[in-house]
Chains A and B, each alone.
Chain A
Amino acid sequence: MERPPSFTPGDRLIEAADLTKLYGDFPAVQDLTFALGPGEILGLVGPNGAGKTTTLRCLSGVIPPTHGRVRLAGFDLATEPIKAKAQLAFIPDEPQLFDYLTVEEHLVFTARLYGASPAPDDIDTLLEELELAGKRRTLANALSRGMKQKLAIACGLLHDPRVILLDEPLTGLDPMGIRRMKATIATRAQRGAAVILSSHLLPLVEELCSKVLIIQHGRIVALGSMAEIAAERPDLAGRGLEDLFLALTDSPHSVR
């Protein structure tokens, strides 16, 4: 697996330029432009149907954008998809696993695909970290929803990705799992990964994220740190993300 050049805080691990996705004539995402550097965690929030999942799917290469460009870890996703994806972990909201592979086999298979060649200890550590050690020989279809989510996360993190895209990562996790997941996200960011976290759990976003991207109807409503967003709306200064979100997304419960 080709490693990207070493990054400094000023570098960009995720770059989206004029990202647009049309479903027929319906614009799911329109002209999204933003960038994320090493160690940054971006909270992607928006009402239902705002285009969050479509954005993540475009960023991960699952679906191609209609217009615009995506670069991951310095590689253009359209022209160098394999190099770009080798630096990526995309963990969707609904864990999609192979029912006929065990927990351990999922990790071995993922390692092989990503050319990660982890030491046996690495797999053990990851299984311990995500409380899957006792389930290593269990088929994925026999796991609970939360365990499946943990396994999807373990597969995503196995190759030490520089770009991590998480869609509602805490769904189905127990309180201990949530705490560990939050710690894992923070640790990965501290080690230099760029993380995009899509969630409706605004306190989680507020707690973990250094930046917030609020989208509605596929367009950017606000982008920046909480302070930067509040600076553009002095009337919302000192309020939490929930108030910002409601005020900026034309919600019927908007703070006036």
Chain B
Amino acid sequence: MIDAAIYLVSRSLKNWLLVRLRKLTSPRYVTALLLGAGYLWFFLGLRHLSPGRSPAGIETANRVGALLLLLAVLRWWVFGADRTALAFSPAEIQFLFPAPVTRRQLILFKLLRAQVLLLVNVLVWTLLMRRSSSGSATVLHAFALWVLFSTLFLHRLGAALVRSEASERVRSRPRAFGAAVMGILIILIAALLGVQLSGVGLALPGGSSLELLRRGWDWLGTPAGHALLFPFRLLLAPVMATTLSTWAHAIGPAAGLLALHLIWVIRADRGFEEAAIEASQRRAELMERWRREGRPAIPQEGRVRLSLPLSPSGHPIPALVWKNLSKTVREDRPSMLFAAVVVLVVGAAIGAVGDGREGASSILFALGASWVVLLVFFGPQWIRNDLRADLTRLSVLRTFPVSGTTLMTGEVISSAVVLSLYQLMLLAVTAIGALGATRMGLTPGYVVRGLVVAAFVVPALNVVAMGIQNAGALLFPAWVRTDMRPGGVEALGQHLISGTLCLLLLVLAALPPAVIGYAIALLVYPSWGWAALIPATLLAVAALVLEAFLLLDWLGGRFDSLDLSELA
């Protein structure tokens, strides 16, 4: 069995490399590969995550690292990592599960297969954390990283197996098991914190939230905090070692922990196939959805939670927009919106603790304004409920009795609407923050004027931006990211090229309307005062709308004359 597993892994890796080598004849592939590799080299060359050699630096890195590992492990136990930890590919299930292979051999196969990914991780982190030019020191450091990653991998697999078995016993969903574990953990941590903090009290002078964080950080350095993070510190110790002797002292316990995990996982094999098949099916569905849609979160039960109304008669553009908005509201956008609200509320709360209403308003203004600006540039790449999500169904779209311009307009408006709604909400938050932050000196009149201008300009700009993105998808589908699958170095390069080009085109498209609006404002301001913003905004928006109209008309023609067979 192990021979077969080694054969499978090695041949798969070899063929994967050969396929990529053959692609080197394509100039597009080579360009993307070089750019991606250059970016990685630059990134790895700049980033030095080494904590340095000072004891304080090492202790800080140890504490942060151990805390992050603790949180990761908690997440696996509470929310589960079954899908990624237990899953096999459909081909592996078809070939391995009916074969005369024991459960332990299956688990060993999984461990062996995981080595490819583990070794890539080791390589990347070795480069990121490199601290010595010595080859032997680098090898020792890489080995320590391998022990760390392998232990974590085994722990995740073991947690998934235990969760799976436990949920079978209680005949409920793994989520129920996770909730139970979470409840127990919360009680334990609350009790622990209660004991530790009872001496100093939670009533903090000045109510500073940073003070609370500082005390929590200090507590992690106490014996109780040490005990909580002990196993994680054990694993991190050889990674953080700066001398051969400290490494030699630390690697033994870490390797012992790895061995214990191996024994644990191999023995905890009850119900492995069932759990693995279920997890594999879930992962296959997820990957297929990611491949096609770029988003995974369609409710699995198949019943909809939220519906938008659509009349069976009327113009096709609203129907196309409705179709794409239905996709948005039924996937994970509401949860993302919820996450954004949480960030804003937490930010405002932190600000309020520090500086009352002034602090909360300042944070809201800063968060809102920066998000709006970020969304102007990167929102069109993030929100993709348009032609980019329909690229795999172009043949269906082609059978619709609608013109290409109608279709492209519906597609582009769909994503522009979603992006505009996000931005308008954030603009409102920005305005509320600006009005509340009196020390910024922004008058209500100034804020309202800014809000109104932005509310007109941003949606029009979004239509142009989405038009550019969809043009890229339609004209150069191979260059545009249409899914969320992780790619290789060449995919990274492709994304960089397409993203940069779209950004440049957006800036170029925004320039004429901006110049027009600015010129009109300058000309009219002396006689109209602030009312000059009205013609300036309207003309700038009109220029954007004209650009969008011309772009969509051209794209429609391109769609009509597109030969889908050339996209294959």
Contact = CB atoms under 8 A, between A and B. Distances in A.
Contacts of B298: 99-100, 139, 141
B564 A62 contact: yes
B242 to A, nearest CB: 53
B486 interface: no
**Interface range, A side:** 35 or more
Interface string A127-153: 000000000011101110000000000
Interface string B470-513: 00000000000000000000000000000000000000000000
Contacts of A114: 400-401
Interface stretch (B182-190, B229-237, B307-315, B376-384): B307-315
A100 B319 contact: no
Contacts of B564: 57, 62-63
A111 B393 contact: no
B113 to A, nearest CB: 29
Interface stretch (B320-328, B442-450, B515-523, B547-555): B320-328
Interface string B291-303: 0110000111111
A9 interface: no
Contacts of B103: none
Contacts of A84: 401
Nearest to B568: A23
A139 B302 contact: yes
Contact of B402 (A64, A82, A99): A82
Contacts of A61: 398-399
Interface in A99-128: 99-102, 105, 108-109, 111-118
Interface stretch (A85-93, A172-180, A213-221, A237-245): A85-93
Contacts of A190: none
Contacts of A101: 323, 326
B195 interface: no
Contact of A86 (B304, B401, B560, B565): B401
Contact of B313 (A81, A85, A111): A111
A82 B403 contact: yes
A60 to B, nearest CB: 6
A96 interface: yes
Chain A interface mostly helix, strand, loop or mixed? mixed
A235 to B, nearest CB: 38
A139 B303 contact: yes
B14 to A, nearest CB: 30
Contact of A118 (B307, B312, B316, B327): B312
A54 B565 CA distance: 9
Nearest to A107: B312
Given A99-B289, A113-B319, A90 B313 contact: no
B319 A82 contact: no
B132 interface: no
A78 to B, nearest CB: 10
A113 B316 contact: yes
Interface in A143-200: 143
A24 to B, nearest CB: 9
B327 A113 contact: no
A105 B310 contact: yes
Contact of B302 (A82, A88, A105, A138): A138
A1 B316 CA distance: 12
A112 B399 contact: no
A19 B327 CA distance: 38
Given A61-B399, A88-B399, A139-B303, A112 B289 contact: no
A141 B289 contact: yes
Given A64-B563, A101-B326, A114-B401, A96 B310 contact: no
Of the candidates B298, B312, B395, the one having the most CB atoms from chain A within 10 angstroms of its own CB is B312
Nearest to A23: B565
A96 B401 contact: no
B357 interface: no
Of the candidates B298, B322, B401, the one having the most CB atoms from chain A within 10 angstroms of its own CB is B401
A109 B310 contact: yes
Contacts of B319: 109, 112-113
B344 to A, nearest CB: 28
Contacts of B312: 108, 111-112, 116-118
B561 interface: yes
B330 A100 contact: yes
Nearest to A90: B399
A239 B314 CA distance: 53
Given A85-B400, A138-B303, A92 B311 contact: no
B289 A98 contact: no
Contacts of A138: 302-303
A85 B313 CA distance: 18
B331 interface: yes
Given A61-B399, A62-B395, 16 more contacts: A60-B399, A64-B563, A82-B403, A85-B401, A96-B392, A100-B326, A101-B326, A105-B310, A112-B316, A113-B400, A113-B401, A137-B304, A139-B299, A139-B303, A141-B298, A142-B301
7 contacts: A64-B563, A83-B401, A86-B401, A96-B395, A101-B323, A112-B312, A115-B401
Q: Which 7 A-B pairs have the closest CB atoms?
A: A142-B302, A112-B319, A86-B401, A85-B401, A100-B327, A111-B312, A117-B313
Interface of A: 1, 21, 23, 54, 57, 60-64, 81-86, 88, 90, 92, 96, 98-102, 105, 108-109, 111-118, 137-139, 141-143
